[in-house]
Each structure stands twice: as C-alpha cells, then as structure tokens.
Structure 1
Amino acid sequence: MTRIDTSWEPAEQDLPKGGSLAGVRVLDLSRILAGPYLTMLLGDLGADVIKLERAEGDDTRSWGPPFVNGEATYFWSANRNKRSVVLDLRNESDLAAALELAATADVVVENFRPGVAERLGLGYSQVQEHNPSVVYCSISAFGDKPQASDLAGYDLLVQAVGGLMSITGTEESGPVKVGVALVDVLAALHGAVGVLAALRHREATGQGQQVGVTMLQSLLASMVNQSSAYLGTAISPSRIGNRHPSIAPYQTLRSQDGSIALACGNDKQFRSLSRALQMPFLVDDSRFHTNTDRVAHCDELIELLELRCAEIPTVELLALLRGAGVPAGPVNSIADAFETAEQLGLNPTRVVSAEGRSIPQVSSPLRLSATPVRYQLPPPVLPRYGSAGMDLRGEAADGD
C-alpha cells in the first residue's frame, strides 16, 4: 500500500522561504500547462506546492526536443517551486492517499476532463467533505456541460474554436496560431486571480469555495478590443497581419536592412513621425489628419512610409524615431529579447539549483518589495513509484 504521511510538517529547508503565501499548501492535481503554470505562480509567492504525478510523469516531461541532460525544457517552464509525489489514482490505496493530501491542502487545483475528478472521488464536493474550507480550482477548456464533453482541451484547439486564429495571420496566410500556448497561460493567470480572491474571502469568513475557469472564456475576455468590436457591431474582425484594426500607423515596417515595429497611438506622435522622417506633407494630407482618417487610408499611408523607411538602416531609423519621441522598436528574436531585458536591468533569468541540478528559469514578472518572489526549488525530478510509496520528503515510507 502506498502511504503518505500527511501529518508531517516539512523541515524548514524543504519549504519556500517567506513570501506572501507562506504557510499555504497547494495540492496540484493538474498536468501539461494551464494548471501547472497557475500552481507555479503560487509557489513563486511562497506556497508549498505538492505536485501529484502518474508513474510516467506529467505529459510535458516527454514533450521535446529540446531536452537538456534528458529533461524536457517544456516541463521546466511551469514546474519550479514544487515537490513531486507519484500516485496511481486507479489504485484504491493511492487514491486514498491523494484524498488525505487534499484534506491537508489550502488549495487544490485540477484540470481533469469534466467529471473525471468526481468519478475518482476527488471532486470539489468530495474533497470539501474532508476539508470544508478548501479553495478548489477547476480548469477546463470549454466548461463542464454535456455538450462540451467531446472537445479536447489542447491550446491549439481553443485558439481555433475561440476565434484567435481567425484574427491572426494575413488573408494570404490563412488562419495562424500564436507561436506559444497562450490560452493556457491566460487561463492560468485568470485562475490564479480567482484563487487569491478565494483565499482572501476565506481569511475574512473562514469559508472555502470552488473557483472555475475555462480556457475559452479566458480567451474571449483576453481578446479585449476585438471581442468588444464584435459585440458592438455584430461583425467578426478579420485577419490584418501586423496591423491594428483601430490605430494607424501601428504595425511593422520594412527598413533598408530589416524591419521595425512602429506604434503611433495619437496625432501628436504621428506629427513627430512625419517630422522625423522629413515627410511634413503627411500632416497636411486630408487622408491622414486624424487617426480615423489614417485607418481608413492605411494602405496609402504605409506605402509612403515604407518608401522612406527603406532608405534608412534599421539602427539609424530606430535612433531617429526614438529621438523624436516616436514609439518604435526592433523585431527581436527570443535571444535578442532576453538580451534587451538584461540591458534594461530587468534580470530576466534565474538559475535555480538543488541537489546537484541547476535549471535556468525565466524570472517572474512580479516585483514585490516586502515579499519578493522565491526561486528555491527547481522543477522536480520524477520520483520513483514503488509499492511502499514515499512521504512528502521523497524518502521511502514504511509499507503496510
């Protein structure tokens, strides 16, 4: 029988030091990205996160290349500041052990297909019986109604079903997905806000609650102006490449040796752009007087701007525009982006080390003056699953 000593209080060195959520225990029943990213955020803030995995581990442990020393960098991206425990939820004793863990947790996070947690005996009402004040967060792709039961919860599918691909790309390219699993991250961020709000409510009242978030609703909300434009006009926005539907010029422009991103958000910036490029006639052209005019005549405007920008090398062009107060920047690679963040003093990376492993990590964007983000535990190695199981320190527990 697998046994986990849920009454054991971890040694000081085994827990995140300090942090806004110090003393909060999180049971992470989730896998892949949305749930793990949410629980990593809580771990960064000081929570003690226990990640429950199958014997073969989280799916993303095998998602590669790239692998570094046999470990998938995808798994690294969402699993720092956690301890891992392996249980087989098809096994009655392992399931009982998982329920014991849930009974000790302040927060439980799951992203099973709708209905699976309940069938396992780990649904909200079942956990609440043992832990009335629990904050229980459920993440799904499309909700828990019967009509959503046959829809798989992968980010690509939500980008397609949710309309994001319909506004990404050009008419020539057709629908294009965003280059990262953005909807998973958006759902994680919305879910984390819900969990923190529920913890605050519990602190004030002693009452736990269920927090629900769907990837589809997170996407619809996060398409902000595009979703609002549809609701106001009943017209679905279309693909316009790197342009903006409501601002011009607000897109990439070709330079002599590359391209830049240009973001003129008001008439003053457009006048500065015209002067910087020695094109004062643009300001007097009736087609470009106001932002609304410029959007209506965007093709003509961009043609004129690119004829001029094509004469100027990228570095010189950016210096010219920035000197004039015009918002502009290079179209960076990811390597360039990290270098830029480093040059700006943002400290964009951390190396988290423990037990002979040193794992590079992207820094949290949060800056808290009194309770700074912690980088204590690297993404955990997968513990060995055995008949005797393990306690929360990863040491062999006595078998029954």
Structure 2
Amino acid sequence: MSGSGDLLGGLRVLELGTAIAAPLCTMLLGEMGAEVIKVEQPGKGDDARYWGTLVKGESLYFLHYNKNKKSIAVNLKSERGREIFLKLVEKADVVVENYRPGVLERLGLSYDTLSARNRGVILCSISGFGQTGPYSGLGGYDVIVQAMSGIMSVTGEPDGEPMRVGFPVADILASLYSTYSILAALYRREKTGEGEWIDISLYDAAVSAMGQWLSIYLGSGRLPERFGNKYPLIAPYEPFKARDGYIMLAVANEEQWRRFCSAAGLESLLSDPRFRTNQDRIKTENRRALEEIISATISRKTVREWLEIFWEAGIPSGPVNGVDALLDDAQLKARNMFQTVEHPRLGRLEVVGSVPKMLKSSVRVRGPPPLLGQHTVEILKWLGYSDNEIRSLESDGVISCQEKIY
C-alpha cells in the first residue's frame, strides 16, 4: 500500500527544536509532505548534533530525528535575526519549539508577537512540565520525567532498582501528542481562520501512559510494583529461554491458552486447577509453578522451531531480537521500514522509514537530515535578501552558511 499524494503538501513548518521532542514532531510532519525549516543557532545548532557516535563529524543520533528538513542558522538574540525569523513566520503555518518556558518571550518571539505577524500561525510549545504550574520553570529531560511520572517505579526486576525504559519514551509520547494536536489545530483553522497555541508537557504525556496503573490504584488502593519481564495481569506473558535464545509468549485469553497447551504438548495443564483460568494462573504460587513447567519445555527446542509451531497454531509469540536482526527481518523489509537517502557528507545512508502506510497518500522519508545552516542562503534569497545583505548578515554573525556568497 503506497499512495502518491502528499497529505500535508503546501504546509510550512518552522522548528525551534533541540534533542528529541520538537525535532521528532516536525520530522513526522515532514514525512507527510510538510516543508520543515529547522532554525538553529549559528556555529552550534541543535545540541543533539554532538550526542553519541559521530561519523565524519555527524551524530548518528541526530540523523534519526532530523530527516525531511532544511536548516537555516540564525542568531535569534540579534534584532536582524529576529526579523528574519518573523519574516519566516509570515509565510509559515506552524511553529514548533521545545525551549524552556519563558525563553521565547525573552527572545521577543511570544505567541502574541507571532500571531500579530500571522493570525493563522499555530505555535506548539513542548517542554518538560508545560507552560503553567509550579514545575514549569524546571528543566525536564526524558529521564527526569520517566522518574517523576512513575514509569521507573514499574520498570525493572521486582528486587532490583527502579529502571528507565531503554528509549526516550516520554519525549516520543510528547512528540506524538504534539503532532496530532497540530493536525487538530489546522483542522480548526480551516473553519475559523485562527491560529492556536498548543502547550504539551512531557510530564503530562508520561503520566497519561501510566493511566492503567493509576486506574488500578485509584480503584483498588493497590500500588503497582516492578514486575520485570512478567506481566502481573496475564500469564503466561513473558520471555522463556529456548535452546539458542529467548522467545516471548503472550497467551492473553483462554482460547489461546488451550491452543498453547496443545501446541507445546502440555495438554495435562488444561485440567490442572491451578491453571484453569487466567485468574488462577496469575496467583503467585501458581505462576511460579507454571513458569517452571513452561521453561523446561521451551528449553528443548530452538527459537525458530518453537516459532514455527506457535505461529502455525496462532499463538502470539516472537523472538527477542537484537537491533542487528531488524535489518534482515522479512516483515520490516516488506513494509519498507528502511529507506536510503543521500546525505551531503556521509553519502548513501540507510535510515528508518515511515510508520503510516496509506492507499492514496504518500508518507515517506523525503530527504536526509541537513548540515547546520545548509539552506541558509537558499531560504534568505527566497525571503528576498540580496547577496550583499546575506554577506553582511554573515560577517556580523547574524547567520552562518554552508554555501558562501562571494
């Protein structure tokens, strides 16, 4: 399924972003066809340009979150730099930023200022704790929010330390909430002609992901605890060690339980009162006994042998993959989840593709992540600046360029 039309063709998005939350949001809009202009600090740019593994001076971390964009390097602390940005705002539909609350106002770029230049502009502000409340002035990186939201309290082994999730889940959730909020505000603008100011908090987003545990606590008074790879609500619903690796089982209802027992040669468990229903199986002693029985059985075959058996029987299961295994995964290849782009410094670059697949519209990686200031000259000329004006801006430190104007 692959369409040809651009869902957001003609939409222009400005990004004042660093790290993950704002850059991921605008990257997703870019995959849907929006033109994304990343506005960065001259000589420095996004902090993530210097994070993690560098290849030829380029951060592989940064590359993932900044596909589908152009980069203009402008000093927003200078009067002429602010005017460049406001000229861009006049031609933009959306501005996405993840500065700490108050920074835009100090730069003279508050929502009121942006709206005065463009009544229909939509500003999406993403921050650790939002624009209001007693924590609003605090810095809020993903790991801080994972800790404060309770995510770490339910992650890790029962007798171990609180543990963070292995990817920036709070940042990613905030990005997704931002993206759909922007699309909703655009829909509203079609009817009213008015812009909007969207306030997204990583903390709010992370707490929303804890909703099931909050619901259980509010309704029962039971405080959830860390449970490692086991799931306290369902059994068996965890990884088991096969002869050559681990396989994950997710037996989520009684029909699947019957099919699992038959496929695994464990039919005797069906008449065992300890395992008759899921409510029986999740009792602590019963669960421990069930795990011992299943572990002994699973250890007799390889992961591939068990997957052939379980998939044939319609039992939800899968291998515990490493990152390297994903590149050769037949399902991911069939879904075009890896694409190739041409990077100006790294050359041919394989990147993670787009999640949505649509029949009549195209959602895809449209270009590589930009070098810092790679498109400064192009964008300034589009705004009407002459070569002499661009040279002056560069010599005065208002902008930086990859392309020189002689």
Within-5 A mapping of 1:362-373: 362-373=352-363
Structure 1 residues 101 and 344 mapped into 2: Cα distance closer, same or farther (>3 Å)? Answer: closer
Q: Which residue of 1 aligns with 2:9?
A: 22
Q: Matched residues in 2 for 1:374 and 1:240: separation?
A: 38
Partner of 2:45: 57
TM-score (norm 1): 0.89
SS in 1 for 2:314: coil
Aligned to 2:264: 277
What amino acid does structure 2 have at the position aligned with 1:58?
D
How far has the Cα of 1:211 moved from its partner?
Answer: 1.4
For 1:204, the equivalent position in structure 2 comes to 191
Counterpart in 2 of 1:359? 349
Q: Post-superposition shift, 1:23?
A: 0.9
Equivalent residue, structure 2, for 1:217: 204
Choose which of 60, 64, 69 in structure 2 pairs with 1:82.
69
CA deviation after TM superposition for structure 1 residue 331, in Å: 0.4
Q: Is the 8 A contact 1:276 1:321 kept in 2?
A: yes
Query: How far apart are the structure 1 equivalents of 2:352 and 2:370?
Result: 16
Alignment correspondent of 2:372: 382
For residues 18-167 of structure 1, the aligned pairs below 5 Å read: 19-55=6-42, 56-65=44-53, 67-145=54-132, 147-167=134-154
**Deviation (angstroms), 1:225:** 2.5
Show CA shifts across 1:44-91 (max 9, x none).
Answer: 1111111000121111110021x2232111111111111110111221
> Which residue of structure 1 lines up, in the alignment, with residue 400 of structure 2?
none
d(CA) in 2 for partners of 1:291, 1:22: 49
Deviates more, 1:291-300 or 1:181-190: 291-300
1:347 equivalent in alignment to 2:347: no
Matching residue of 1:258:
245
Structure 1 residue runs without a partner (length 5+): 1-16
CA 1:97/1:345 → structure 2, altered by over 3 Å: closer, same or farther? Answer: same
Letter in structure 2 aligned against 1:369: L
Please point out which of 161, 177, 192 is paired with 1:190. 177
Please, which moves more after superposition, 320-329 or 108-117? 320-329
Residue 10 of structure 1: aligned partner: none
Distance 1:392 1:294, change over 3 A: farther
Aligned partners of 1:45, 1:82: CA distance in 2, in Å? 12
Q: Go from structure 1 to structure 2 and tell me whether the alpha carbon gap of 1:234 and 1:136 turns closer, same or farther (over 3 Å shift).
A: farther
Q: Alpha-carbon deviation of 1:149?
A: 4.1
The alignment partner of 2:310 has SS state of helix
Alignment match, 1:11: none
Assess, with a 3 A threshold, how the Cα gap between structure 1 residues 351 and 134 changes in structure 2: closer, same or farther.
same
Paired with 1:349 and 1:220, the residues of 2 have a C-alpha distance of 31
Secondary structure of residue in 1 paired with 2:71:
strand
* Equivalences for residues 193-342 of structure 1 within 5 A: 193-296=180-283, 297-342=286-331
Letter in 1 for 2:45: G
Distance (Å, rounded) in 1 between the aligned partners of 2:36 and 2:375: 19
Alignment of 1:161-180 (within 5 A): 161-180=148-167
Q: CA deviation at 1:172?
A: 3.0
Q: How far apart, CA to CA, are the structure 2 residues paired with 1:30 and 1:168? A: 29
How many residue pairs get aligned? The number is 382
C-alpha separation between the residues in 1 aligned to 2:89 and 2:187?
Answer: 20
Residues 354, 314 of structure 1: alpha-carbon distance in 2 compared, 3 angstrom cutoff: closer
Equivalents in 1 of 2:176, 2:386: separation in Å? 35
What is the correspondence of 1:3-22 to structure 2 with a 5 Å cutoff?
19-22=6-9
1:112/1:344 Cα in 2 relative to 1: closer, same or farther (>3 Å)? closer
Note the alpha carbon deviations across 1:291-340, whole angstroms, 9 max, x for none. Answer: 11111132221111112212222222222222222111110001212322
Q: Work out the percentage of aligned pairs sharing the same amino acid.
A: 38
